[in-house]
Amino acid sequence: MRYRLDSQSPLKPLGVAPPPYDSLLEERFVQRWEKLATPWTLEREVEIVDLKGTVFVPDFALRHADGRIAHVEIMGFWHPDYLRRKLDKLRRAAMPDLIVAVSERLNVGADDFRDIPGPVLFFKGKLEPRAVLEALDRLAG
């Protein structure tokens, strides 16, 4: 007996499909990003960083037409345990090309991110794509 599976096989996932975005904050960021004329392409959750025992998946990868790559992690959800685990993962990942966008609604400040190697952006209410583009310019600096 042989079983053959390819991209044309009529398989359907079990259960309910996950939502396309983890938060409305991410979804709105993508909607605003898509209105920009930029050589950077935004891709959702495509990179997996091995942290030895766990993984870190940045919210977005940004790919430039010239081959440069950067990443974005949006922190808009606040729960003490979530925040502790997220900061631990960011430190362990030690990604200088990771832009961390942090809602000012969180109970954190710049000191909490002092040992994060990439740029940290604090935003009110909504994350503006232009702020991320400015951080990308600083990375290329």
pLDDT at 122: 96
pLDDT at 20: 78
pLDDT at 116: 94
Say how many CA atoms lie within 13 Å of 7 toward its Cβ.
Answer: 0
Q: Record the tokens describing residue 18, joined without a space.
A: 């996950």
> Is residue 88 classed as helix, strand or coil in its secondary structure?
helix
∠ CA 128-131-135, rounded to 5°: 145
CB 75 within 8 A of CB 102: yes
Mean local confidence (pLDDT), 18-33: 87
pLDDT tens column, 71-119 = 999 998 778 888 889 999 999 999 999 999 999 988 889 999 999 999 9
